[in-house]
Amino acid sequence: MKHELNLVLSPEEAANDDLIKSIAAQQLFSSAKNITAVKTLKRSIDARSRNIKINLKLEIYINEQPNSASYKINYPDVSSKKAVLVIGSGPAGLFAALQLIENGFKPIILERGKNVKDRRRDLAAINKEHIVDPHSNYCFGEGGAGTYSDGKLYTRSTKRGDVNKVLEVFVAHGADENILIEAHPHIGTNKLPNIIESIRQTIINSGGEVHFNTHLIDLIIKENSIKGVVCHDLKSNTNIEYIADSVILATGHSARDIFELLHKKNILIESKTFAMGVRVEHPQVLIDSLQYHCTINEVEKKRDYLPAASYSLVHQALGRGVYSFCMCPGGIIAPCATAPGEIVTNGWSPSKRNNPFANSGIVVTTEAEDLVAFQKFGPLAGLRYQQALETMAWNAGGKTQTAPAQRLVDFTTNRLSSSLPDTSYQPGVKSAPLHQLLPDAIGKRLQLGFIEFGKKFRGYYTNEAVIVGVESRTSSPVRIPRDSATLQHIQIKGLYPCGEGAGYAGGIVSAAIDGQKCADSIANNFNITFVKNI
């Protein structure tokens, strides 16, 4: 017999399987000897008071065993089926490809960057030699920005599609089953590359194709319908045409050349709101002590049963939101520039979240009034504003990947830091007056936000923390408009703008869901009967 049970336990109790079985037996008026299995369905932490609790949703099996879960998907062979081009191999592109296979289409992925293993050399070059490869970096390459930016799978986009299906696909390709039960699931940058490779192999084994070092440079359009694309092969230095009447454009929020290509070809794009700011980094032990309501000396004992603590902060400053973004407990600040002459920061964590620092983007929403000086660029105004901020940071850091930085309290009190604390940012940091260098629309609001965060989260506002500039790629500054029913571009039949780069997603899971939706729309638009899993 199977029973569902909700328990609220202390962290120590939640780590004791025998105790859980005993408590369950009492609540079900049974004997612990009769409980043959306990399966966790959901797990979350409530740390709002000193009396920290773990919320567990459990399935209790009495005198029977649960069915063994299998997340394997039997994809059909589509090697001889109708081809669909997928531009980009980030989460939107990869999940679009998998869904196309399920729907009976042959995906051909065209990726400007390298595979996950070869990308590592280029990431090392950014960190150690300050060399930025514009085609292979933290944003471009197999798996997209998500591969080397933590693998957070938490999303509020539950109404957009089947979140569980996305998580189960990850599990089927090697992710830990814990992502199915945790309130804020996370894979870890150290584990994601193997998972991405496994997804690629599934696509190839099913008859799809994946082409790396293949950079989209033009769209073939006739009578307002897509007919294919032109790509530059970066290895052979030749141009190649790929012909298809359906193209999923999933190039990510940093593919500026794609926005410029569309604009040049008079294909409608639109400016959209986004956010920019800085990365802030604290000692992880400090964040743990604040969240777990204990002294720094007591943190080690707490961490026997609790993970590295995260936080989420928001404040309205001068009429705009100032908020934390992509918080990385036990993480690393990464150099995420996609071209020489710019500084871009982001963050990631390994699966164990065991690095000594906690970092988060702290950003401010942009408004049209911020873009007045860039209006001559039309729908690319926000993109140019981003570039200006990134160039400023590059100049302030000394024209390398060394980033401008400032102690937190020094920043809010307009003082240049005479020294900087240790930081996880590997290319190094340089003291700079970010309070002067950031536009007032961002800087002044960040100052007010940090002060208020310190009031809400006492201990956060400290000169032990350092801010590093700039966090500028929170989302796309451009939206590529599409028909809400068919998901095709409103002008170009067969062109499916998709994911973060098109302005329709904001993270790994929402991008994956959008990729699936585009693949389903192609099937619906072509009246293809879906291929059901066996």
Q: How many CA atoms lie within 13 A of 365 on its CB side?
A: 14
pLDDT score, position 153 = 87
Domains of the chain in sequence order: 2-62 (3.30.70.2700), 83-270+480-525 (3.50.50.60), 275-471 (no CATH)
Q: Is the pLDDT of residue 50 over 60?
A: yes
Query: Which residue, among 328, 333, 340, 338, has the nearest Cα to 501 in the 3D structure?
Result: 338
pLDDT score, position 525 = 87
> 157: pLDDT confidence band, cut at 50, 70 and 90?
low
Class of residue 417 by CB neighbours under 10 A (exposed 0-12, middle 13-18, buried 19+)? buried
Q: Which of 160-174, 490-504, 518-532 shows the lowest per-residue confidence on average (mean pLDDT)?
A: 518-532
Query: Which residue, among 440, 257, 270, 280, has the nearest Cα to 345 in the 3D structure?
Result: 280
In the predicted model, what is the mean pLDDT of residues 165-179?
Answer: 95
In the predicted model, what is the mean pLDDT of residues 351-355?
Answer: 92
CA distance 250 to 263: 17
pLDDT in tens, 292-346: 999 999 999 999 999 999 999 999 999 999 999 999 999 999 999 999 999 999 9
Give the other-Cβ count within 10 Å of 80's Cβ.
Answer: 8
The 238-243 sheet, strands edge to edge: 214-222, 225-233, 238-243
pLDDT score, position 150 = 66
Q: Is the pLDDT of residue 531 over 60?
A: no
Locus of tokens 């969240």: 291
CA distance 444 to 256: 28
Mean confidence (pLDDT) of the chain: 95
Tokens (6 digits) for 231: 């790509």
CA distance 321 to 445: 9
Omega before 470 within 30 of 0, i.e. cis = yes
With a CB cutoff of 8 Å and minimum separation 6, the contacts of 73 are 98, 102, 169, 172, 533
pLDDT score, position 344 = 98
Specify the amino acid at residue 259: F
Q: Is the pLDDT of residue 233 over 80?
A: yes
C-alpha 225 chain-centroid distance: 32
pLDDT score, position 161 = 81
Q: What is the DSSP string of 33-100?
A: GGEEEEEEEEEEEE-SSSS-EEEEEEEEEESS-PPPP-----PPP-TTS-EEEEE--SHHHHHHHHHH
CA distance 361 to 345: 9
In the predicted model, what is the mean pLDDT of residues 131-146?
Answer: 95
In the predicted model, what is the mean pLDDT of residues 274-280?
Answer: 98
CA distance 511 to 251: 11
pLDDT score, position 124 = 96
Locus of tokens 């190094």: 428
Phi, psi (deg, nearest 5) at residue 289: -65, -35
> 534: pLDDT confidence band, cut at 50, 70 and 90?
very low
pLDDT score, position 526 = 82
Q: What angle do CA 62, 64, 66 make, to 5 degrees?
A: 105
Is residue 361 within 8 Å of residue 347, measured between CB atoms? yes
Is residue 449 within 8 Å of residue 315, measured between CB atoms? yes
In the predicted model, what is the mean pLDDT of residues 349-370?
Answer: 95
CA distance 330 to 357: 5
